[in-house]
Structure 1
């Protein structure tokens, strides 16, 4: 039985087939799409991987990074140890907080909330500064000589300023008038001295004061901020303890004052503040590492004016 030989496709039939294809837009679209797929796959194989925008990966690694950022723990090893020590409930709480942040962050990006936002810029700068502090291996150990020198050069930072503790009876110039406030204060001083009243017993005298009736271990600057410079100077120069003195004039009127304690300025010996000095020096060294790391980054950029 003879079989018929296949006829070759003639040029006319090829042209007819091409005309049919080009008249079908869907077919053309599919072909172009396929060619585009091949092209993208060739130049960037990873670009076609699904980004899975609705997937939040709560892996241990991500949670540890989250802890580092939240708790300002520079070393990953420390953050990992912290995470391992958490109970299951605490880890679950960390997961919830991470999911909360990640989801809202992504939604914010979708809405374009990150564009031209000065607050986000500052936050990113802070994060980069934080990351540069992680180079703890660049921080040199602090020796005793450094501590002594820093103490000598910056002793003013560790001076414990003079403080005073006192109670007062207030006579308002607005309520009584300035002259009457002074007169009433002078008369009341005679009464409270005669009665030998303690501060806690003197509430029946005077007017209600805007701030406090008693001030404990306050600096001259603090007292001045509430009662005025002249009043503060008078109180800090007063040497009569445990006695009603005054009247002293303030911004608001006159006051009888009972000095409970007046502590002189103290310059502590280096032994008493060595731990504070060490902490301050470490912070300075961290800042120095941060500065040098940022300068290296800046060097990569061309600055134009």
Structure 2
């Protein structure tokens, strides 16, 4: 039980539920339906927004105008509610749902920072997320379909006749393209992004220090002279601590929002009366928990 009470995620959920309980008890902010109260906090809010926009304090006349505008908005808002103008209004529904989301977002700001022990445990459980991919250093020449009817065959012919040439001698072959002749310590994901296709996967199996190929990319057919290949490695916890903390906070926030929503949702019953396919209807009802 003590261990459970120390769980940071439990803190997220409990604080989140507390926020909604307090908020639900304080929603009746008016002394009566006819009272429109403008207090110091309202004035401070109006002034802050003005200063943010205009980089100065409002004059007395400008402040008067802001207050009058706020009062008019409140009057019209209450009258609209009396007339049920908010009923089935998609914009209002969306805005109120967003405000509820903002409340759940505030939960993370109220929770104590995770300990190093929490972060290390998270790091171990999610180590694959922080694994650095292969790195490659290599020379390459490329033969494109724009310049060759059969670039694969052209690459094979060049390789068969010139496989003993050094990288410096070999650079006379291939088509001119807007990427380097030599790549140094480039990560696999970046390489695939630059050249297209899955060229990095092909480089994982190539021998070092000799011309090999052909290797396909999004640009065409390559001949490769691989000089170095670094296997994937996991950075230390100390190296990644700031990133781990950011990811931890984000995941905790997502999980807490889901738990809070599930708790609120449990007070409702979904009645799906639309004419939908049975499989789809069952799926929706199951996910809602009905």
TM-score, with structure 1 as normaliser:
0.50
Q: Which has the higher contact order (CA 8 A, sep 6+)?
A: 2
- 1:246-298 alpha-carbon deviations (Å, 9 max, x no partner): 23231564312244653221122323223322222222222333234434543
Structure 2 residues without counterparts, runs of 5 or longer: 1-31, 58-65, 74-84, 273-290
Equivalenced residue count is 209
Match of 1:61 in 2: 45
- Compared CA separation, residues 303 and 90, structure 1 to 2 (3 A): same
Match of 2:208 in 1: 240
Match of 1:74 in 2: none
* Root mean square deviation, CA, Å: 4.7
Alignment partner of 1:273 out of 211, 227, 240: 240
**What pairs with 1:1-305 in structure 2 (closer than 5 Å)?**
45-46=34-35, 60-62=44-46, 125-136=97-108, 138-173=110-145, 175-178=147-150, 180-183=153-156, 185-186=158-159, 189=162, 193=166, 195-196=168-169, 202=171, 205-209=173-177, 212-213=179-180, 217-219=186-188, 223=192, 226-229=195-198, 231-240=199-208, 245-250=211-216, 253-259=220-226, 261-305=228-272
Tell me, yes or no, if the aligned pair for 1:170 and 1:253 is still in contact at 8 Å: yes
Give the Cα–Cα distance (whole angstroms) in 1 for the partners of residues 134 and 160 of structure 2. Answer: 31
Give the Cα–Cα distance (whole angstroms) in 1 for the partners of residues 261 and 95 of structure 2. Answer: 16
Tell me, yes or no, if the aligned pair for 1:161 and 1:266 is still in contact at 8 Å: yes
Report SS of the residue matched to 2:154: helix
Report SS of the residue matched to 2:141: strand
Tell me, yes or no, if the aligned pair for 1:246 and 1:257 is still in contact at 8 Å: yes
Give the Cα–Cα distance (whole angstroms) in 2 for the partners of residues 239 and 62 of structure 1. Answer: 69
